[in-house]
Amino acid sequence: MSPAGDGAAASCRRASVALADGRFALQDLTLDVARGETLVLLGRSGSGKTTTLKLLNALLLPTAGDVTVEGRATRDWEPHRLRRRIGYVIQDTGLFPHFTVERNVALLPTLERWEPDRVRARVLEMLALVGLDAARFLHRYPRELSGGERQRVGIARALAADPALLLMDEPFGALDPLTRSELQREFKALCARLGKTIVFVTHDVREALLLGTRLALLAEGRLAFAGPPAEFRRAEHPEARAFAATLDP
């Protein structure tokens, strides 16, 4: 048996990431990601949220401890095989500027050698899912899109190959407040509909409470709190109280 908990989509066991200067980006993290949950990693800049996310898709390997996805250590996966099963959305979207919206969304299914008809249908399905009118957007280039539209395309691209796990690194962080809350609401509805396992990084406690079915608070590379949103406000850890305090005017 793997040391991961039964049914966990992914898990970290005493995972650490040491930096070259001897400090730790992440220290001794033990955390399971349960199937179907939206786990929000909350913390300040430099607290280890993004590091945790990159451990899950093997953009980083733990310098100590284990990270397993689907019961298999990330260091034993062939990196690109693992990553193709995991959707990845980042703040700057990272859309390919020389590809149209259609090619961006179609890329992974195409590389996975889906039939062209199936790829085409999938692209249309994904654009509809994120609320973009295919007729208007299919042939546009990323720079012809607004920030919110780009982020929608980013999500469509991440979901295109039907990943079991979706990683999101402050996907709404660079958007204006109105667009952000619009996307947050839509995304919450989307999560409920798709039933995907999602790990979502943010430094915005409101966003965390809105979207998360479970919260994990990181402080200076260590796990400070993990539990459902309702418990977060009662958490004792000073970092949790500091975050909770920002909620009250």
Partner 1 sequence: MSLLRFYAGNAGEALGLLVQHLLLVGASTAVAVALGVPLGIVLTRRPRLRAPVLGAANVFQTIPSLALFGFLIPLPFLGGIGASTAVVALVVYALLPIIRNTYTGIQAIDPAVREAGLGMGLTGGELLRLVELPLALGVIMAGVRVATVIGVGVATIAAAIGAGGLGVYIFRGVAMVNDTLILAGALPAAVMALGFDWGLGWIERKLTPRGVRA
The Cβ-side half-sphere exposure at 57, using a 13 Å CA radius, reads 23
Beta carbon of residue 88, minimum distance to partner 1 (angstroms, whole number): 4
- 107 contacts partner 1 (rule: CB under 8 A): yes
Looking at 21, 22, 45, 81, which residue binds partner 1 (CB under 8 A)?
81
- 93 contacts partner 1 (rule: CB under 8 A): yes
Task: Please name the residues in contact with 177: beta carbons below 8 A apart, sequence gap of 6 or more.
Answer: none
Beta carbon of residue 246, minimum distance to partner 1 (angstroms, whole number): 28
- 44 contacts partner 1 (rule: CB under 8 A): no
Beta carbon of residue 103, minimum distance to partner 1 (angstroms, whole number): 10
Compute the residue count for the chain.
249
Q: Sketch the per residue contact string, 162 through 201, with partner 1: x for CB under 8 A, - otherwise.
A: -----x----------------------------------
The interface region with partner 1, picked from 12-20, 31-39, 68-76, 79-87 by CB under 8 A, is 79-87
The interface region with partner 1, picked from 83-91, 118-126, 196-204, 212-220 by CB under 8 A, is 83-91
- The nearer residue to partner 1, 3 or 96, going by C-beta atoms, is 96
Q: Sketch the per residue contact string, 205 through 234, with partner 1: x for CB under 8 A, - otherwise.
A: ------------------------------
- Burial class of residue 1, CB neighbours in 10 A (0-12, 13-18, 19+): exposed
Cα–Cα separations (whole angstroms), residue 148 to 142, 153, 186, 212: 11, 9, 12, 21
Q: Which residues pair with 166 in a beta bridge?
A: 87, 198
- 57 contacts partner 1 (rule: CB under 8 A): yes
Residue 24 is classified by DSSP as E
- The nearer residue to partner 1, 42 or 153, going by C-beta atoms, is 153
- Give the separation between CA 45 and CA 51, rounded to whole angstroms: 11
- 108 contacts partner 1 (rule: CB under 8 A): yes
Beta carbon of residue 105, minimum distance to partner 1 (angstroms, whole number): 11
Count the Cβ atoms, other than its own, within 10 Å of residue 207.
Answer: 21
Do the Cβ atoms of 235 and 241 come closer than 8 Å?
Answer: yes
- 143 contacts partner 1 (rule: CB under 8 A): yes
- 50 contacts partner 1 (rule: CB under 8 A): no
Q: Which two tokens stand for residue 174?
A: 């660079």
- 157 contacts partner 1 (rule: CB under 8 A): yes
Complete DSSP assignment for 142-172? GGGS-HHHHHHHHHHHHHTT--SEEEEESTT
Do the Cβ atoms of 187 and 19 come closer than 8 Å?
Answer: no
Beta carbon of residue 249, minimum distance to partner 1 (angstroms, whole number): 35
Q: Nearest to residue 183, comparing CAs of 138, 216, 146?
A: 146
Residue numbers at the binding site for partner 1 (CB under 8 A): 57, 59, 79-88, 90-100, 107-108, 111, 141-143, 154, 157-158, 167
